[in-house]
Amino acid sequence: MFSKEESRKLREEFWIAFGKSFPNKWTLYKTEVKGLSFKFHFDLKKAVVSIDIDSDFEQRIKVWDKLVALKSIFHDEYLPNAIFEDFYILGNNKEISRVYIELENVSIHNKNTWRETMEFLNTNMLKIEAFYQEYKDIIDS
């Protein structure tokens, strides 16, 4: 069991190591589409790379419908195991729409899983960004 401070330090150490191992200017919040962002998440049980749509309901539906229209291309050419959830509830009970892929049985508290997790995060975010670059005109229209 780790104290809050030990856990915070491990998280900080992981993200610094990830940034050094995979130096990249990630798009993340700079998609230029209202409410659309790309996220990394790593906790005690899993790692996640996601496309999140977090905006007012009308905008969320507009962007979500475009992603769903591109779903077969996304699965065929980028991430075949991606999960599309139009109503996804975050830990703070906020509802968003999310497309994501996850790696289970890894933990930010277990340094033995860090390399695998870093490679997972990097590889899958690169695919999400490649998809976005190819189809951003459709998503943003």
Residue bearing tokens 């690169």: 126
Beta bridge partners of 102: 48
CA proximity to 64, closest of 14, 20, 23, 98: 98
DSSP result, 24-61: ----TT--SSTTEEEEEEE-SSEEEEEEEE-S-HHHHH
> Which pTM does this prediction carry?
0.92
Instruction: Report the C-alpha gap between 104 and 119 in whole angstroms.
Output: 14
Confidence bin at 141 (pLDDT 50/70/90): confident
The pLDDT value recorded for residue 135 is 96
Q: CB–CB of 67/56 below 8 Å?
A: no
Q: CB–CB of 103/37 below 8 Å?
A: no
What lies within 8 Å, CB to CB, of 43 at 6+ separation is 107, 108
Confidence bin at 29 (pLDDT 50/70/90): confident
Q: CB–CB of 36/52 below 8 Å?
A: yes
Confidence bin at 2 (pLDDT 50/70/90): confident
Across the range 8-23, mean pLDDT stands at 96
